[in-house]
Homo-oligomer: A and B are copies of this chain.
């Protein structure tokens, strides 16, 4: 199956489909119609049919979608059929929250190291993973093939570590720092800007229906 024609907008919606299909699988549901999925997900059935048509026309009229098949296909598109080696740069609360989140590990994102500049954190274990000092990071990256780095440290620190990560082969950055990182074309960045999300909430709160 080729996926080159899947639009960015559809890709953005895939993780949500994946979550609902996973819940359905856990609830032992084998087939679901676009109308049922529409009720569940609060998306129009025609949107669902259009989106899922990208994975071949296997949702037949009056028959529905095969939940497990669709779940697996979407997983493959998202790259969840592989495993990834990941490090966390920034061993504060946010870094530790991510390191403790076992679901990521189950999905194939294996946390190999946590780094911080605070000597008080040196050697502290988070879910069995020791926090190392940031100056050990280049050596660590040379010895371990790491694809993904989560940046849970302040802006200035994040900007400083990016070149080190890139030089040492990291190809994907999950950026929680409040800055837009500059990376080469073959490195991808996904931003989680918490303060911008809180501003959206504040906007919505001030513009909600009363």
Any chain B CB within 8 A of the CB of A28? no
Q: Which of B98, B202, B208 contacts A187 (CB 8 A)?
A: B208
Tell me, yes or no, whether A119 is within 8 Å of chain B by CB. Answer: no
Number of interface residues of A (CB under 8 A): 57
Given A94-B97, A200-B11, A201-B188, A103-B195 contact (CB < 8 Å): yes
Is A18 engaged at the interface, CB distance under 8 Å to the other chain? yes
Query: Which residues of the partner chain B approach A192 to less than 8 Å between Cβ atoms?
Result: 192, 194, 197
Instruction: Tell whether, in the assembled complex, residue A196 and residue B16 are in contact, meaning their CB atoms are under 8 Å apart.
Output: yes
The distance from the CB of A124 to the nearest CB of chain B, in whole angstroms, is 13
Q: Which residue of B lies closest to A42 (CB)?
A: B180
Which residues of chain B have C-beta atoms less than 8 A from A97's C-beta? 92-94, 97
Return the chain B residue nearest A77 by Cβ: B203
List the B residue with the shortest CB-CB distance to A200.
B190
Q: What 0/1 readout, one digit per residue, does chain A (8-24) give for beta carbons within 8 Å of chain B?
A: 00011011101100000
Please determine whether B100 and A148 come into contact, CB atoms closer than 8 angstroms.
no
- A198 B174 Cβ-Cβ under 8 A: yes
**Complex interface: chain B residues within 8 A of A186 (CB):** 208-210
State whether the Cβ of A199 lies closer than 8 Å to any Cβ in chain B: yes
- Please state if B14 and A104 are interface contacts (CB–CB under 8 Å): no
Complex CA gap A186/B129 in Å reads 44
Say yes or no: is A78 at the interface (Cβ < 8 Å to chain B).
Answer: yes
CB distance from A22 to the nearest CB of B (A): 10
- A11-B203, A190-B198 known; 7 new pairs, CB 8 Å cut-off, are A14-B199, A14-B203, A15-B196, A16-B193, A79-B202, A79-B206, A104-B195
The 10 nearest A-B residue pairs measured at CB: A93-B97, A15-B196, A190-B201, A79-B206, A188-B204, A94-B97, A79-B202, A172-B205, A15-B199, A93-B96
